[in-house]
Amino acid sequence: MSEIELLPEEITEDDNTTHVEMNIKEIAFLKRFIMEYKPKKIVEIGISAGGNTVNLLKWKDKNAKLFSIDIAKEWYQDNAKLTGFMADELDVKDNWKLYRGFDYLDVYEEIGNDIDFIIIDTVHFMPGEFFSFIAALPQLKDGCIVVLHDIHLNILRVSNDEYNDYDIAAHCTGLLFGGVSSNQKWTLKLPISNIGAFVVDKSTRENIKDIFHILCSQWHMFPSELNLTKYLDFIYNNYPQDCFNLFNKCLNVQAKYFDIELNTKQCARVDIINSGNKNNIIQFLDNTNSINVDFPTWFKSDKGSGAVIETFEESFKLKFICINDGQLKICLRGPDVRDKEGKRVPVNIDYKLFRMNNQKIFEEDIIAWHDNPYIFEKNVKNGEIIELYFEWTLDKF
């Protein structure tokens, strides 16, 4: 990696400095990249009042497309105004699309590939900018310039004697800038540059696991406003399996740390009941720790107690003994995932193989989700031992 320190430039009176959350040297840094690289497809994530959106609209080539995305509909500094209001007021807005109230993944498909310039300037607290970068990377062209702002907000505040406990944690963008792999990075030639840029190249993609490792460090906020199920699915489909595994584990640990009930489970779920009378039950034998077994109260009735089994293991065995004669019912389904309104959403599980006592029940793709299970039933005797074996994967489509 080579890092170039650019001399701070001045900007002209045509450039906008009102409601821009950058100082003039940083605005000039951004301008320099737009002027020099003349990108054709620009993305701006985190726009606030839209002060810099005004600049991007002025600087960009008339035919270049600009997509501006902000998760907040209203300006976070004054709720009476809309996010991006400064740019809304401009007369010339060629090839501009503003998404208020959206995260990047919500508009991913609309934006499409071949992005050659992106600026990410959002929350600065872990895991903030990591999510936006991971969401956008598959659509960034090789050679795309990525500008990150507030890369050292935490130490700038300290050095300005404006330190408080809260600011010291604003190091998310710095971790991303420092950790990302690129053959070319730029900063301002200043004792501490608070803006940086890098080029997306082969090494960025080849070493992407480094970014997932950093993402596993302590988070300072939990991004509940994002669709985390969508992120899991997206990472599963667009990044190597080991990156997905790290992300998945990390998300679950962070959720526990923040005491948040995570509704993103992408696991196999098998419900089993030995129906007969109220004492009917199954007792598990030899199960591994990676399999979670629960006997929830809602599954208890005068017909017996049922078990709910969940696991991330993509092949797993269950062994249990049936207590009392009964009708064994095995439901292969998906996890209980709900949207913000509490409505259940499908998470499809592709069950590929199901064996009982070494007998094949099926060996084909059977897609099931919570509300559309595959059901198998058979009569069982008191003391009968049952061994089940499953192979499954997430249904990607």
Burial of 19 by CB count in 10 Å (0-12 exposed, 13-18 middle, 19+ buried)?
middle
Nearer CB in complex with ligand SAM: 20/246: 20
d(CA 49, CA 53): 8
Query: Torsions phi, psi of 47, nearest 5?
Result: -115, -20
What count of other Cβ atoms lies within 10 Å of the Cβ of residue 138?
A: 14
Residue 139 contacts ligand SAM per CB under 6 A: no
Helix intervals (H) in 222-342: 228-238, 241-257
Which x/- pattern, by CB under 6 A, does the window 332-361 give for ligand SAM?
Answer: ------------------------------
Strand ranges inside 108-241, DSSP E = 115-120, 140-149, 184-188, 195-199
**Amino acid (one-letter) located at 289:** N
Candidates 25, 97, 114; CA nearest to 56 is 97
Out of 43, 105, 118, 123, point to the residue binding ligand SAM (CB under 6 A). Answer: 123
Instruction: Indicate the residue among 65 and 100 with the shorter CB distance to ligand SAM.
Output: 100
Nearest CB to ligand SAM, comparing residues 52 and 139: 52
With CB under 6 A as the contact rule, the residue among 71, 197, 281, 366 that binds ligand SAM is 71
Applying CB under 6 A, does 98 fall inside the site for ligand SAM? no
Smaller CB separation from ligand SAM, 85 or 186:
85
From the list 6, 28, 45, 331, which residue makes contact with ligand SAM (rule: CB under 6 A)? 45
**Smallest separation, CB 341 to ligand SAM (Å):** 21
In the bound state with ligand SAM, the residue whose beta carbon lies nearer, of 18 and 113, is 18
Binding residue (CB under 6 A) for ligand SAM from 15, 70, 167, 384: 70
For residue 333, the surrounding DSSP H or E stretch is strand 326-333
Tell me 354's DSSP state: E
Contacts (Cβ under 8 Å, ≥6 apart) of 345: 229, 337, 338, 339
* Binding flag, residue 46, ligand SAM (CB under 6 A): yes
Q: How far is the CB of 336 from ligand SAM (least distance, A)?
A: 26
Kindly state the helix (H) or strand (E) to which residue 312 belongs, with its residue range. Answer: none
Smaller CB separation from ligand SAM, 258 or 295 = 258
Q: How far is CA 28 from CA 14, 49, 153, 198, in A?
A: 12, 18, 18, 16
Residue with smaller CB distance to ligand SAM, 127 or 326: 127
- Omega cis (within 30) before 127: yes
Binding mask 75-94 for ligand SAM (x = CB under 6 A): -x------x-----------
From the list 69, 180, 199, 349, which residue makes contact with ligand SAM (rule: CB under 6 A)? 69
Please state, in angstroms and rounded to a whole number, the distance separating the CA atoms of residues 118 and 149.
Answer: 11
Q: Is there binding between residue 72 and ligand SAM (CB under 6 A)? A: yes
Q: Of 20 and 146, which CB lies nearer to ligand SAM in the complex structure?
A: 20
Instruction: Please report, as ranges, the residues that interact with ligand SAM according to CB under 6 A.
Output: 20-22, 45-48, 51-52, 69-72, 76, 83, 103, 121-123, 132
